Amino acid sequence: MRIVLFCENRYAVDILQPLSTEAARQGGHEVLWYIHTKKIKSFPLAAEVRWTDSIQEVYDFKPEAIFVPGNIVPYYLPGVKIQVFHGYAAEKKDHWVIRRYFDTYFTQGPYFTSHFELLAKKYGDFEVRETGWTKQDWIKEHLHDFDSEKLSMLEKHGKKRIVIYAPTFSPKLTSLPYMKRPLEQLLEKEPDVLLLMKFHPLTAQQWTDEYREWAKDRNDAIYIEAGENVTKYQMMSDLMISDTSSAVYEFLLLDRPVVTLRTIAKDIYWEDITDENNLLAAYNKAYNDAESIAKRRWIIDNYDPHLDGKCCARMLEEAADYIRRHGVPAKRKLNIWRKYTSIKTFGKIKK
């Protein structure tokens, strides 16, 4: 199968890398990465994989399947266009917006599958298959790779537990303006805690500069620079502090506690506070509260129970099955506005 891994934004690289790995393991596939270099300034796999920043080259490659963890893909490219999602943030409205670019949606778990199946019936021009999410394969394979690094970090700083602060970048949703003093209080009252701060790549420089400077001379806080994979530090951490971020769900799927500040989620399966001064109390409750533990289990069972390391294999099989049943689509039928948006974003090609 000729496969395109379509990366419009930097986060897509980490999402699609496990799929690239599985395709190589299986053999028999040709894989081309598309990197939108206007948004992705540095492609970390550039020396390891076949890639291009040319939509014309993608078209000439004649892909049979295009995997996309974003919201848009050029309608004029051949191949079955597959939405694989960029997270679990069901509370964000755009998660459920059907833009008509995709032939099929590969969902993470029963909660998402049931919702998208209803949308598929409404629109009638795409399919839904439940496969699990690509990054869970990477987590399954590397879950204990960083245990020694975690131990060394804790020993170096004389701590016993790692807490990660991973807020969203959205100015309307981020906790960054309110959280520095509560984090200081947490560290004062919990001397065994080492705080890691890992911010979204799109976080305003004002906040990255402020928190980096705050952590610079502390023994109990470390600022992790942009470009590092947040998943690694999630796997090293015992508790997460956040707000409205899809990283919350990724952390819950590790069956570990979360505290958020003023999340917009309607259904909350963790400790959420509306007053940042209650951070310490929520931190202490999150570890031992039986109801919170039960809610985390619900997330695992419904958001993504496919933790067997075979999500990418299922995706490749479902893509092949779509092609067996429908053939390779020449292009995607869209209205004029969607066509215009596609061309404006990625340009035209010569046929």
What pLDDT score does 137 carry? 96
Residue 31 and residue 23 in contact, taking contact as beta carbons nearer than 8 Å: yes
Give the model confidence (pLDDT) of 194-241 as tens digits: 999 999 888 999 999 999 999 998 999 999 987 777 889 999 999 999
User: 240 with 293, same domain?
Assistant: yes
- Distance CA(19)–CA(51), nearest Å, equals 15
User: 151 with 293, same domain?
Assistant: yes
User: 214 with 126, same domain?
Assistant: no
Residue 258 lies inside a defined structural domain of this protein = yes
What pLDDT score does 239 carry? 97
What pLDDT score does 289 carry? 86
User: 22 with 118, same domain?
Assistant: yes
What pLDDT score does 95 carry? 75
User: 81 with 52, same domain?
Assistant: yes
What pLDDT score does 261 carry? 97
Residue 188 lies inside a defined structural domain of this protein = yes
User: 282 with 256, same domain?
Assistant: yes
* DSSP states along 301-333: HHH----SS-HHHHHHHHHHHHHHHH---S---
User: 317 with 289, same domain?
Assistant: no
What pLDDT score does 230 carry? 84
User: 336 with 216, same domain?
Assistant: no
User: 174 with 278, same domain?
Assistant: yes
The helix (run of H) or strand (run of E) holding residue 2 is: strand 2-7
What pLDDT score does 291 carry? 87
Query: In the chain, what are the helix, strand and coil shares in percent, each to the nearest 5?
Result: 45, 15, 40
User: 313 with 299, same domain?
Assistant: no
Residue 315 lies inside a defined structural domain of this protein = yes
Residue type, 82: I
Give the predicted TM-score (pTM) of the model: 0.85
Into how many domains does the chain fold? 2
User: 311 with 281, same domain?
Assistant: no
What pLDDT score does 122 carry? 96
User: 210 with 108, same domain?
Assistant: no
Residue type, 114: S
The helix (run of H) or strand (run of E) holding residue 195 is: strand 193-198
Residue 324 lies inside a defined structural domain of this protein = yes
The residue count of the chain comes to 351
- Domain interval for residue 237: 144-303
Residue type, 33: W
Angle at 117 between CA 111 and CA 121, to 5 degrees: 155
- Distance CA(282)–CA(90), nearest Å, equals 23
Mean pLDDT by 10 residues, the chain (351 residues): 96 95 97 95 94 98 97 96 89 78 97 96 96 95 95 97 95 95 97 96 93 95 86 95 90 94 90 96 90 89 94 98 97 91 92 83
Residue 138 lies inside a defined structural domain of this protein = no
Cα 265–chain centre separation: 17
What pLDDT score does 288 carry? 83
The helix (run of H) or strand (run of E) holding residue 139 is: helix 134-142
What pLDDT score does 265 carry? 85
Find, among 222, 217, 165, 155, the residue nearest to 192 by Cα.
Answer: 155
Q: Give the side-chain half-sphere CA count within 13 A for 237.
A: 27
The Cβ of residue 33 has, within 10 Å, a number of other Cβ atoms equal to: 24
